[in-house]
Structure 1
Amino acid sequence: MRASDRAYRTLRTEVLDGSLEPGTVLQEVEQATRLGVSRTPVREALRQLAADGLVDASGRGAVVTALSRDDIAALYELREALEAKAAALAAQRGDAVPFLLIRDRLLGAPQLLAQGEPGLVPYFDIVDDLDDAIEEAAANPFLATALRSVQLHSARIRRFSRHNPERLRAAAGEHLLIVEAILARDAELASQATHVHLHMSLTNALATAPGTVGEADEGTALGPRVA
């Protein structure tokens, strides 16, 4: 793997999981030293992150972008349009085998979530695999491209539910209903189940997010951090 690809994947993961908080200034020299690469791969990685919308490369350098409540609501408006359509297409076009396997894994989700933090990684792996299976089953490359962009930003919001076991258990049930609808070849139910899941997810995100992702809880913006 190229050094620029390694740097991009590492920085992207850190932005998505919140290790690099919104407002953090990503300076090339510091990041190159930290990641053990030269400045050129870091520069390329930052350009890609800017293209993803995860950093703002204008002005004072590359700064991890924030998500306001309005941003979150707008993102979910797009998610509903894209993901509901993708689920409906998956019900019409998809092979049942991947969804049967995912259904079996989802049935074990309560046991994973009962483990607390150690169970979150395998649980979210199931969710990611479901997203991939729906994308493949929908068999629409233009829709797939749009879905990947939306899911990238959605991953930043996911952490709001990490410490809410009740919401995680409910979400697992919602994902299971989507899978059951796809297996039943019921496109309308798959679409509606996706709408319900996203509505509940948005409600939780808005209830638990600060005014802007990267702001202090009292609503005062954090000053820029350098990393």
Structure 2
Amino acid sequence: MISSDEERPGLHNQAELAYRRLRERLVSGHYRPGDRLTEVVLCEDLGMSRTPVREALRRLQSDGLVTSTGRGVVVSSLSEDEIRHAMQLHEALDALAAKLAATAQREGRLAPVQLTALKEAARAVEERAEAGDTAGVWRANLDFHMTLARLSGNPLLEDALDRIWARFAIISLGNISRRAELVPTRHDAIVAAIAEGDPERAAAAAAEHVHEAASRPRD
């Protein structure tokens, strides 16, 4: 009996690979909000059969990154209300991540190499901003926030922030340049509070950073 696609060895790995490749293209700005993506074109682009691509699209739809149209999918956007709701959650999660990281530092559970990684991530944002590299600022800013999430020691928090940032990435790449001057200073305040093991100050600095970013015009 000929096995179906679902029974072929390695199909799960192919679906995972398709998911990762398409997700990277989405969050890197390769696809823009409103772009229509069809299985036929994606299969050609990825050099894969339709089954793993279809499974990848299902996962991306579950992530909120694409929306089904009945004939393929379109890259999702965010309404003003959705952006506001996402920023509210982002503020709360970043504040919690900073608080947990500072607590770990105060209790001696944060390794020096972890704190160094956070400082280097903050410095990278500043360097990209000074160079006027809009896309570089975005990538460095994302790296800083995900490094902060990892330092929290809470994998559920890290996963939640990763999902939020993936949705932000699709709509925000062109806006980050207007925040270039704000980002390094606010990151420095977060890093300093964590380094000093001050959970409350770290949480406040992280919340202020996100709140101020959310308050700036997006037009």
TM-score (structure 1 length as normaliser)? 0.77
Range that drifts further, 106-115 or 65-74: 106-115
Partner of 1:221: none
CA distance in 1: counterparts of 2:188 and 2:17, whole angstroms:
34
CA distance in 1: counterparts of 2:123 and 2:39, whole angstroms:
45
CA distance in 1: counterparts of 2:36 and 2:207, whole angstroms:
36
CA distance in 2: counterparts of 1:127 and 1:14, whole angstroms:
18
> Which structure 2 residue ranges, 5 or more long, are not aligned?
1-9
* 1:96-115 alpha-carbon deviations (Å, 9 max, x no partner): 52223432453464443232
Answering whether residue 74 of structure 2 is matched by residue 63 of structure 1, we say yes
Partner of 2:186: 174
**Counterpart selection for 1:16 from 12, 15, 27:** 27
Call closer, same or farther: CA 1:184–1:7 in 2, change over 3 Å.
same
Does the CA contact (< 8 Å) of 2:77 and 2:171 recur in 1?
A: no
Does the CA contact (< 8 Å) of 1:96 and 1:183 recur in 2?
A: no
CA distance in 2: counterparts of 1:20 and 1:183, whole angstroms:
38
* 1:131-155 alpha-carbon deviations (Å, 9 max, x no partner): 3332233222333332222232233
Range that drifts further, 176-185 or 105-114: 105-114
- Deviation for aligned residue 1:188: 1.0
CA-atom RMSD in angstroms = 2.4
Range that drifts further, 139-148 or 30-39: 139-148
Call closer, same or farther: CA 1:128–1:96 in 2, change over 3 Å.
farther
CA distance in 1: counterparts of 2:130 and 2:15, whole angstroms:
38
Partner of 1:26: 37
CA distance in 1: counterparts of 2:215 and 2:84, whole angstroms:
9
Partner of 1:48: 59
CA distance in 2: counterparts of 1:96 and 1:15, whole angstroms:
33
SS of alignment partner, residue 92 of structure 1: helix
- Deviation for aligned residue 1:89: 1.0
Call closer, same or farther: CA 1:188–1:200 in 2, change over 3 Å.
same
* Paired amino acid for 1:106: A
* 1:189-212 alpha-carbon deviations (Å, 9 max, x no partner): 1111111111122123xx224xxx
Matches within 5 A, 1:1-227: 2-57=13-68, 59-94=70-105, 95=110, 97=112, 98-104=114-120, 106-107=122-123, 109-117=125-133, 120-121=135-136, 123-164=137-178, 167-204=179-216, 207-209=217-219
> Which structure 1 residue ranges, 5 or more long, are not aligned?
210-227
CA distance in 1: counterparts of 2:83 and 2:66, whole angstroms:
16
Call closer, same or farther: CA 1:92–1:148 in 2, change over 3 Å.
same
- Deviation for aligned residue 1:39: 1.3
Give the number of equivalent residue pairs. Answer: 203
- Deviation for aligned residue 1:174: 0.8
* 1:82-137 alpha-carbon deviations (Å, 9 max, x no partner): 111111111001415222343245346444323233x843x555434433332233
Moved over 6 A (4+): none
Call closer, same or farther: CA 1:100–1:137 in 2, change over 3 Å.
same
- Percentage identity across paired residues of the two chains: 34
